[in-house]
Structure 1
Amino acid sequence: MEFKETTFLAQNTPEQLHALRHLVFHDILTLDSAQNTLTWWPEHKVISLNEAQKRFFSCLLLRITSKRQIIATVWNESYPSISDNNYHQLLFQSRALLKRAGLPDGLLVTLPYHGVRLNEEKLMAITR
């Protein structure tokens, strides 16, 4: 993974994650946090994101997979009052967003009893 206009820190805080401008995954996906967009480069599709989706995809691109860490990052200060239902709804909405944009199924992989991750193997296979 390559990072542009940012410094990757070993111990990222939610505030540091929100400050990242661009996250790039092998020239396949680019998250632009200033524009709240996710760009799918194989077909040059730009997908608009809401704030929660932007934070969610920043976690995935930084390989943060734990449900608790994702909740803490996405909902920041209010995360102690956020239920698992909010997390599952965000995951459902994000999958639906990718599907509406015409991206391949299976890009988000549920990790039972842990969280979710990007299907990096599938993403890399797309570029071959």
Structure 2
Amino acid sequence: MNNIRILLILTALLISPSGAAVDLLASAPTQAGMNRDACDEAEAAAAALQAEYDALLDRHASDPQTQALIREARDAYETFRQAHLAAFRAASKGSVAPMCHCMAARTLAESQQPMVAASPEGDVCAW
């Protein structure tokens, strides 16, 4: 059992330099628990990203053309995300595959969020 735990920790370190998988291991000592926790975190990151898109659309409520372009960008990102995760899922094997898939989904959402987030007032390059 200890060998499996060590293997999981090493795998987690390889796929998550930030140590997120190690945190999952500490909070959920079973693979099923780690899978569930990783997917919960991915859902939270996706919800935060959607909130940023909603805020951006609200900020441009008086400009339907800009809103249409924002929606087009959001849809293009979603197409990319789905294709990326499908390829990732196909390459992942074993009981850690669901955890790895959800960790990749979380990373994608978190990396997209700053590009969508509201810019500081006075930023001439803001949305």
On whether the aligned pair clears a TM of 0.5, the verdict is: no
Name whichever structure is richer in strand by fraction.
1
As a proportion of its length, which structure holds more helix?
2
Q: TM-score, structure 1 length as denominator? A: 0.29
Tell which has more relative contact order, 1 or 2 (C-alpha 8 A, sep 6+). 2
